[in-house]
Chains A and B, each alone.
Chain A
Amino acid sequence: MMEGYALGVMANAGLLAFLALSAYVLAIAGEMSFGQQAFFALGAYAGGMATALAGLPIALALLAAAAAGALGAALLGLLTLRLRGLYFSMSTLAAAEAVRIMLERFTLRVDVGGRMVGPDGTAGFGDLRYLLERGLEQRGFVLLIYALLLAVLLLLYAADRARFGTRLRMVGQDPELAGAFGIDVYRTKLAAAALAGAIAALGGALYAHYNTYVEPANFDVMLGVHAVSYALIGGLGTPLGPLVGVCFDIVLMEGSRVFEGYRMIAFGALVALFLIVRPRGLLDERTVDRIGAALRRMAPARLIYRRKK
């Protein structure tokens, strides 16, 4: 696979978007999770093992990864969602690091066709040759990434319009009041956590197959904090927000290449200054409302924006 630069950037942006969306789902529910990288890791390993060890086709592998992510997130949520605020955030970070350290100890080498493949502790999990063996080019896989991303976006958009989304945002804004309305706050957050885990795991499985090699060091705290930052910078008003956050970040990163050697200094200053100007991110709830209202004014009332009762 000859790697093109632009396609590579697009692929990385798409994969990071899964992680950002995962953090976004929990952020709407009012919880900042620094641990979504753990489900990214779970998805990567589960998806990789499904194709490399069990020989499953990629569609099943991605499903298996998403299921593993949802299950893992639900189990973790049973412990962490009893905590509030910063305690929750730190416990997710601690749990994600614990998962990463456990992956460093995880070795499962299986003889497949005369070769030993499988996770090998700190040496990582390589030889994920599924795409190479099927001759799938980089362009094709980038299309797959974005197709799945679009599917996730549509799912989240639909969920936002449905009762689940309303409940989630109510819980995020004011849990006590939501409880007074009869919403089971804990169960709602648990469902959100499971959804977030599934999304992150899906991204992880795609990452593992794209990169053909993953190692536990890939899934450290930096990745988790970045995920939350993308969601916050992009704004929590719409599922497009985290995507915008990723693009913004990547544009800034590539743009600050001009400051060769001082890239992170420029980048950090730009992000901090941006947050002073737009503290709730680019596409926060208010901006999304305004854009929606502007669209409604521009088009005749019959044509656009049938709100489902």
Chain B
Amino acid sequence: MLENLIDGLARGSCYALLAVGFSLVFGILRRINLAYGACVMLGVYAAIWLDRHYRFAAPWVVPVVVLVTVAAGVYVERLCLAPHARRAAVTSMAASFAVWMQLQEVATLLLPRHSYPFPELFTLPPLELGPVLLRPEQLLALACALVAAGTLWWLLYRTRFGLAVRAMTENGIGAACVGINIPRMASLILMLASALGGIAGCLIVSIDGQVTAMFAMWATLKGMIAAMLGGLDSLAGAVAGGLLLGGAEACSQSLFGPQYRDACSYLLLLAVLAACPAGLSVLWRGRGKALPAVGQ
């Protein structure tokens, strides 16, 4: 049970990173990027493909995944997000769905089979802590989530870049008036979100040991659910939502077996939204301004 829980928290950390990526894009750009999971999938698949053709040392896999994910993210941003006016969020969502199909096909062209093993990042043996066996991937996932959350907080609240981002969120026209380059900032935000997604992808795939062709859908869904659990424009909420999702899945796996894992995450989302329609972040932020609907 405890091992399941630790595994759940490790996976939850990955979900948290994915959720932060979603929350960044939605909270700041007011856009839903349905191609997010597909970008991460392409990054992972590209790394595996390169590894199969040109064997290289394990840790180099991570930068490859992140770079390809960011490149895919830039492509998505140029094609789906930038051309549409700020109010046409729904259209960019539909466009990102089309690009999801595209990127998924590119990935399956590279590697046509149903599942592929991911190269091992570590050759260290698992750590024994009392009765529990901790794998280094799980520890790394937990550490990464905390580091990423902390770095992001520092970036947003202690740097000029973060100040510009917050200004953009508050008042887009005002921010443009004071000289903030909104399109460039939008690109940078999406690159940041993609980088986080790439790291999350690496971690989750190394925890699982393999990647399947359903990865894009799975990552998009988990990221969105975790982001919603916490409240879509709250970073702390995204992290909390991710960990909660991971923990809940672990509990349901221990209690009901692995086949109900996905059902549990959906029911959890419905239950949380029924209780807190704007996500869990209202619990600590209080009822602020309502989240605008898609397209407004």
Contact = CB atoms under 8 A, between A and B. Distances in A.
Contacts of B109: 261-262
Interface of A: 30, 32, 79, 82-87, 89-91, 93-95, 97-98, 101-102, 221-222, 225, 228-229, 232-233, 261-265, 267-273, 275-276, 279-280
7 pairs of A and B residues whose beta carbons are closest in the complex: A268-B102, A85-B293, A271-B98, A264-B105, A94-B266, A268-B98, A101-B263
Contacts of B102: 264-265, 267-269, 272
B105 A94 contact: no
Contacts of B99: 268, 272
B83 A276 contact: yes
Contacts of B295: 30
Interface residues of B, number: 51
Contact of A101 (B221, B262, B277): B262
- Give chain A's interface secondary structure class: helix
Contacts of A93: 221
Contacts, number: 128
B95 interface: yes
Interface of B: 26, 32, 34, 79-80, 83-85, 88, 90-95, 97-106, 109, 217, 221, 224-225, 228, 232, 260, 262-263, 266-267, 269-270, 273-274, 277-279, 290-296
Given A32-B294, A268-B102, A272-B98, A87 B228 contact: yes
8 contacts: A84-B277, A87-B279, A97-B266, A228-B94, A232-B94, A262-B109, A265-B106, A276-B79
B124 to A, nearest CB: 37
A57 to B, nearest CB: 36
A225 B104 CA distance: 15
Nearest to A270: B98
A95 B266 contact: yes
B231 to A, nearest CB: 9
Given A32-B90, A232-B94, A272-B80, A221 B221 contact: yes
A267 B277 contact: no
A163 to B, nearest CB: 24
Given A229-B94, A268-B99, A86 B294 contact: yes
A85 B101 contact: no
Contacts of B279: 87
Contacts of A269: 79, 98, 102
Nearest to A266: B102
Contact of A233 (B94, B232, B291): B94
Contact of A275 (B95, B232, B263): B95
